[in-house]
Structure 1
Amino acid sequence: MSRSEGQENGRTSPGAGSLAHRVPDLGALELLLAVARLGSLGAAAREVGITQPAASSRIRSMERQLGVALVDRSLRGSRLTDAGVLVTDWARRVVEAAEAFDAGAQALRDRRDSRLRVAASMTIAEYLLPGWLLALRAGRPDTAVSLLAGNSAAVAERLLSDEADLGFVEGLTVPTGLDSVVVAHDHLVVVTAPGHPWARRRRPLPAAELAATPLVLREKGSGTRQVLDAALGGLARPLIELSSTTAVKASAVGGAGPAVLSELAVGEELATRRLVSVPVDGVRLRRDLRAVWRTGHRPAGPARELLGLTRKSPKGR
């Protein structure tokens, strides 16, 4: 039947339009069930938490929508009409189905909230995430958290393959397919063992000399290396290439050569003089630390709470 055939004298046929426009909403159906059970519109209004005038208006609106009278009102109370009895029986089935739908949705939320998979680049995993996860555990002791640590490229791969719910990276750019927000800032520092010639310099190290010097570096794909390479416009061939911040730091402490590391990672070593910070002239070694997630999948449940905790952290400002 065409649209014009479905209309007669300006009136839309009962089957026209979307179901949402033809079927009363759940709130109206719950109110009708309360009237049937309590025999009073006022008592039904109190049960569902609205005023009696609002309840009367909702019943009238439902009657207009369905085209039948549902409730007879009198000084002695409210009584369902014959049509109202039928509609109430149908309403009960709809509400029961909605309750089953709600219970199923809650089960899905409970399943989601029972675990959190986090992927993080090495510096964040070692020096920031432990505090954030302890704070999360205080509010969600039943959530099982797994942490996958790797370089920034590996974090992106975990998220894009749905192996992680939330990630943290240190690189300059956000990979395609991911959304992000900055949660903290970090500075990279050039460090050497106390016996290295750079440790005795009286003037800052020129950026060009740093770029031309073989360094102890993280592997390609790490956020630290990306930032350093971009800031210097290129790097010399690495003296040693290692896959973790801890390994790079240990090599520098052992005198293997200079390294560039997050200030978060070398605070203790600088304080005890096992490493010496070397000022650099003509380059800015500052980077943003970001939380990342798959585009269109804004963090929810424990992932959203963890993201909120990173914004409250003093190191996240």
Structure 2
Amino acid sequence: MALNFHQLHIFFTVAEKGSFSQAAHALHMTQPAVTMQVQALEEYFGTKLFHRSTKKIELSEAGKTLLPFAKRSIELIKETDVSMSRFTHKLEGRLHLGASLTIGEYILPRLLGPFSKDYPSISVSMKVINTTQILDEVLNHQLNFGLVEAEVRHPDVHTEALLSDELVLIVPDQHPLAAREIVTAADMLQYPFVLREKGSGTRSVMEDELRKAGIDPGDMNIVMELGSTGAIKSAVEAGLGLSIISKSSLKHEVKLGVIHIKEVENIRFSRSFYAIYLNSTILPISAVTFMTFLRQRELSQWL
């Protein structure tokens, strides 16, 4: 295993926050993913970097030695990005990527305009398929990189959080739950659901969060599985069931009042969108530039 910047960044964030959970929140990662990367770094150096207890974590002597080097590496990467940005604006070429359905249908179309304004000589080609298909195409070298809705764990693939998102419970207008500000899990489980297909990032995140709340996804009355967010919204609007989908995809329906967003008591379906690519891949500069664009901007104004 080679030392990499991603692991140093995670180590530095854990040390800075003094907590694996707080570092995971700051990095838009899951806590197990943060722990796994720190453990990989400890295996690389052959020593413990933190002393862990039930109440707190502290840097070991090795960790204290590594900390200033990690900080300097982060500062150097930031300086490099700033220094090189004046050249990347002159880039030419084609950006070819895969995007899972919510990202490809609702997120990226709103961001490609600002990106094209900053980088007018880069043309974009986007393939919209689900997370499982994107992983397969990345592994088979059919795609250089992809943007997906759930964290991918594969030994040959690098996964990096780029954007934050939230899934929400939606109900049609005139539904019995529409008038309630907060809905309990027991309330929503009384009604049928229309969901994305298994293998989609949205479905995986929803099921993971339900399990964390002590709810078996198998208890849901799933009457329909559909392959696109647009189809799900139409089905919910028609009164066929409830659903849990990305909040960023609901702007027009909520404004028209045909679909209502409901808060579920004690459950928050927060997630990140991730870039995935092969560990062995040297990404084209157009792809690196696009991911840097997504990382460095406040995106809520476009969503």
Give the TM-score normalised by the residue count of structure 1: 0.59
| Change over 3 Å in CA distance of 1:168–1:263 after alignment to 2 | same
Q: In terms of Rg, which structure is larger?
A: 1
Instruction: Give the corresponding residue for 1:256.
Output: 240
Answer yes or no: is the 8 Å Cα contact 1:217–1:248 preserved in 2. Answer: yes
Instruction: Give the corresponding residue for 1:271.
Output: 255
Q: 186, 199, 213: which one pairs with 1:221?
A: 199
| Change over 3 Å in CA distance of 1:151–1:312 after alignment to 2 | same
Equivalent residues, number: 205
Q: 162, 169, 173: which one pairs with 1:183?
A: 162
* Pairing of 1:127-166 with structure 2 (within 5 A): 127-166=106-145
Task: Give me the whole-angstrom Cα distance separating, in 1, the residues matched to 2:297 and 2:153.
Answer: 22
Q: CA deviation at 1:274?
A: 1.1
Instruction: Give the corresponding residue for 2:59.
Output: none
Instruction: Letter of the 1:297 partner, please give it.
Output: T
Q: CA deviation at 1:128?
A: 2.0
Answer yes or no: is the 8 Å Cα contact 1:190–1:258 preserved in 2. Answer: yes
Q: CA deviation at 1:280?
A: 0.6
* Pairing of 1:208-247 with structure 2 (within 5 A): 208-211=186-189, 213-233=191-211, 234-235=216-217, 236-247=220-231
Instruction: Letter of the 1:254 partner, please give it.
Output: A
| Change over 3 Å in CA distance of 1:157–1:304 after alignment to 2 | same
Structure 1 moving runs of 4+ over 6 Å: none
Q: Give per-residue Cα distances to partners, 1:135-179, cap 9 Å, x unaligned.
A: 443354444422111111111112111111221011144444211
SS in 1 for 2:111: helix
Task: Give me the whole-angstrom Cα distance separating, in 1, the residues matched to 2:190 and 2:277.
Answer: 36
Q: Give per-residue Cα distances to partners, 1:187-215, cap 9 Å, x unaligned.
A: 1111111111111236x222244356431
Instruction: Letter of the 2:285 partner, please give it.
Output: G
Task: Give me the whole-angstrom Cα distance separating, in 1, the residues matched to 2:251 and 2:104.
Answer: 16
Instruction: Give the corresponding residue for 2:297.
Output: 313
Q: CA deviation at 1:279?
A: 1.6
SS in 2 for 1:158: helix
Q: Give per-residue Cα distances to partners, 1:1-23, cap 9 Å, x unaligned.
A: xxxxxxxxxxxxxxxxxxxxxxx
Instruction: Letter of the 2:283 partner, please give it.
Output: P
Answer yes or no: is the 8 Å Cα contact 2:163–2:273 preserved in 1. Answer: yes
SS in 2 for 1:197: coil
SS in 1 for 2:192: coil
Q: CA deviation at 1:256?
A: 1.3
Instruction: Give the corresponding residue for 2:87.
Output: none
Instruction: Letter of the 2:246 partner, please give it.
Output: S
Instruction: Give the corresponding residue for 1:20.
Output: none
Structure 2, unmatched stretches of 5+, are: 1-90
| Change over 3 Å in CA distance of 1:142–1:300 after alignment to 2 | same
Answer yes or no: is the 8 Å Cα contact 1:136–1:305 preserved in 2. Answer: no
Task: Give me the whole-angstrom Cα distance separating, in 2, the residues matched to 1:252 and 1:157.
Answer: 31
Instruction: Give the corresponding residue for 1:120.
Output: 99
Q: 262, 267, 280: which one pairs with 1:283?
A: 267
Instruction: Give the corresponding residue for 1:108.
Output: none
- Which of the pair has the greater relative contact order for Cα pairs under 8 Å at 6+ separation? 2
Answer yes or no: is the 8 Å Cα contact 1:208–1:232 preserved in 2. Answer: no
Q: 256, 262, 276: which one pairs with 1:292?
A: 276
Instruction: Give the corresponding residue for 1:82.
Output: none
